[in-house]
Amino acid sequence: MKPWPSSAARQSLISCPSCELLSKVPANLDDRVRMRCPRCGATLHARKPNSLARTWALVIAAFIFYIPANVLPIMTVTSLGKTQSDTIMSGVAYLLLHGMWPLALLIFFASVVVPLLKLVILVYLLISVQLRSRWRPRDRTRLYRITEAVGRWSMVDIYVVTILVALVHLGNLATIRAEAGAVFFGAVVVITIFAALTFDPRLIWDRLEQSHE
Amino acid sequence: MTEPTFIACHECDLLQHLKSPPPGGSARCPRCGAVLHRSKRDSLNRTLALSLAGLTLFAVANAFPFLAFEMQGQVTQTRLFTGVRDLYDQGMWGLAALVLLTTIIVPAVQLTLMLYILVPLKVGRAPQHLAGVLRLLQNLTPWGMMEVFMLGILVSVVKLAGMATIVPGLALWAFGLLIFVLAAAAASLDPHLIWEKVRYAP
Ligand SMILES: [Zn+2]
Ligand SMILES: [Zn+2]
């Protein structure tokens, strides 16, 4: 395989994260001075700062929140004096019992599989970068793109709770309350979106270039 | 400009010439496959028209009844904002803020910022703080989740179908259309074209 031409970093160039203008890094750059893009004023970093440490911290926080998000109820239905609390999984089970299996599958996938898959992929990417893996960088970049794209769909259960709370407002007949599980679940979605934003996929390729030298 | 423009891929940092994409297609990074540039025809006019349409739809989606819930003769009318208000009333201010942000504030700010950029450009002037505004617009992208909210509506309607009648309101149709209009506006906006208009200034 022919070695790849060159990364911008190896030519002492930094690409602006906003406008993509390339800037030359001065040879005697003081660490404490922040470089700014001459065109748009964005702060320039060769790589996202502390990408690995920050992504690890966010991924671990999301894993921790993922537990109460699934164990605690996300909503309580009060109907004619009876109250019933639902977790994400009991909501899925309810849909299955009532023959709504396409919906059950959708909620299970969006609320349980997607957040977990996203976290597992990020952990894998973090470890592969730290172990200086050279394995399939193109596919690993593709995995990163998937984590960026699918995370938002986990919000669907939060929205379902919001809509049910707004619609089912019938005094003694039926009311629905959002519960703590939904808060933790929302936190997981937000934290994993930040985790995907702080991970720098260019690190996957940096390891490849370093091993050519 | 006849001089070739060099860029670095935002996903793998490969240094390369910025090639203009084929009509209707996109230019990809040869190393990692990231999309670097999409072809946009008549970007300025199209994005401007779509943003104006979007702002109108946004107003309709917020001002008119969204969904009505009918059970045993009792009717509950809701607006887009109702869920946010009810969550807040239940003490769930964090959730209320998250839903408000992702379904109402972000789309509104995106539309406003696009118009703020495009209207002056259309009459041949560069708006103030163009760089900062465009950067804010880019950073907002992951936080607008109207299409996910729409899926949430479908799920809720199916869930409640057995016990009540759900009547869609005018705002729901406007909201559904707004998803497509906003996506089309974001897709037709050409940041490369706009960055070229940013003056090099200290
Ligand atoms: Zn810049
Ligand atoms: Zn690339």
Q: Which of A170, A183, A206 sits opposite B76 (nearest CB)?
A: A170
What angle do helix axes B146-160 and A156-167 make, rounded to 10 degrees? 50
Contact criterion met (CB < 8 Å) for A166 and B131: no
> Cβ(B178)–Cβ(A17) under 8 Å?
no
A167 lies in the same domain as A133 = yes
Contact criterion met (CB < 8 Å) for B156 and A4: no
Phi then psi dihedrals of residue A103, to 5 deg: -70, -40
Contact criterion met (CB < 8 Å) for B14 and A168: no
pLDDT at A2: 43
What string of pLDDT tens digits covers the 213 residues of chain A?
344 578 888 888 899 988 888 988 887 766 667 888 888 888 898 889 999 999 999 999 999 999 999 999 999 998 888 888 999 999 899 889 988 889 999 999 999 999 999 999 999 999 999 998 888 889 999 999 999 999 899 999 999 999 999 988 776 678 899 999 999 999 999 999 999 999 999 999 987 776 554
Mean of the pLDDT values across residues B166-192? 92
Q: Cα(B31) to centroid of ligand 2, in Å?
A: 5
Q: How far is Cα of residue A71 from the mean position of the Cα atoms in its chain?
A: 21
Please say whether the dihedral angle defined by the alpha carbons of residues A125, A134, A27 and B16, taken in this order, is positive or negative: negative
A191 lies in the same domain as A93 = yes
pLDDT at A4: 53
Distances (CA, A) of B156 to A42, A108, A152, B66, B111: 42, 15, 18, 13, 28
Chain B interface includes A88 (CB < 8 A) = no
A34 lies in the same domain as A135 = no
pLDDT at B99: 96
As given in the structure block, the two tokens for residue A101 are: 């299996």
For chains A and B, CB pairs below 8 A equal 192
Averaged confidence pLDDT in chain B: 88
pLDDT in tens, B2-60: 456 788 999 999 998 887 777 778 889 999 999 888 878 888 899 999 999 999 999 99
Q: Which of B171, B146, B85 is nearest to A162 (CA)?
A: B85
Residue with tokens 């890094």: A25
Q: How confident is the model at residue B163 (pLDDT cuts 50, 70, 90)?
A: confident
As given in the structure block, the two tokens for residue A71 are: 């164990």
A59 lies in the same domain as A161 = yes
Determine which helix (DSSP H) or strand (DSSP E) holds A210, and give its type and residue range. Answer: helix A202-210
Which of A46, A61, A80 is the last residue in one of the domains? Answer: A46
A70 lies in the same domain as A36 = no
How far is residue B65's CA from residue B82's CA, in Å, rounded to a whole number?
A: 10
How far is residue B8's CA from residue A130's CA, in Å, rounded to a whole number?
A: 23
SS3 A78: strand
Query: How many CA atoms, within 13 angstroms, populate the side-chain half-sphere of residue B39?
Result: 10
How far is residue A146's CA from residue B11's CA, in Å, rounded to a whole number?
A: 13
A41 lies in the same domain as A56 = no
Q: What is the 3-state secondary structure (H, E, C) of A125-179?
A: HHHHHHCCCCCCHHHHHHHHHHHHHHHHHHHHHHHHHHHHHHHCECCCCEEEEEC
Residue of A nearest to B69 (CA): A167
Distances (CA, A) of B4 to A24, A29, B14, B187: 17, 28, 16, 25
Window 167-186 of A, Cβ < 8 Å to B: 167-170, 173-174, 177-178, 182-183, 186
A36 lies in the same domain as A133 = no
A135 lies in the same domain as A156 = yes
Contact criterion met (CB < 8 Å) for A202 and B145: no
A7 lies in the same domain as A109 = no
How far is residue A184's CA from residue A72's CA, in Å, rounded to a whole number?
A: 9
A57 lies in the same domain as A25 = no
Residue with tokens 């540039």: B37
A55 lies in the same domain as A148 = yes
Q: Which of B181, B191, B104 is nearest to B145 (CA)?
A: B104
Q: Domain holding A53: CATH number?
A: 1.20.140
How far is residue A3's CA from residue B189's CA, in Å, rounded to a whole number?
A: 36
Residue extents of the structural domains in chain B: 1-39, 42-195
Residue span of the structural domain in which A146 resides: 49-210
pLDDT at A157: 93
- Chain A residue numbers with beta carbons less than 8 Å from the beta carbon of B87 are 162, 165, 178
Q: Which of A11, A193, A202 sits opposite B12 (nearest CB)?
A: A202
Q: Which of B11, B95, B131 sits opposite A178 (nearest CB)?
A: B95
A14 lies in the same domain as A79 = no
SS3 A188: helix
SS3 A75: strand
The pTM of the full predicted model, rounded to 2 decimals, is: 0.91
Q: No. of H helices and E strands in chain A?
A: 8, 7
Distances (CA, A) of A74 to A87, A103, A125, A139, B137: 5, 17, 31, 36, 32
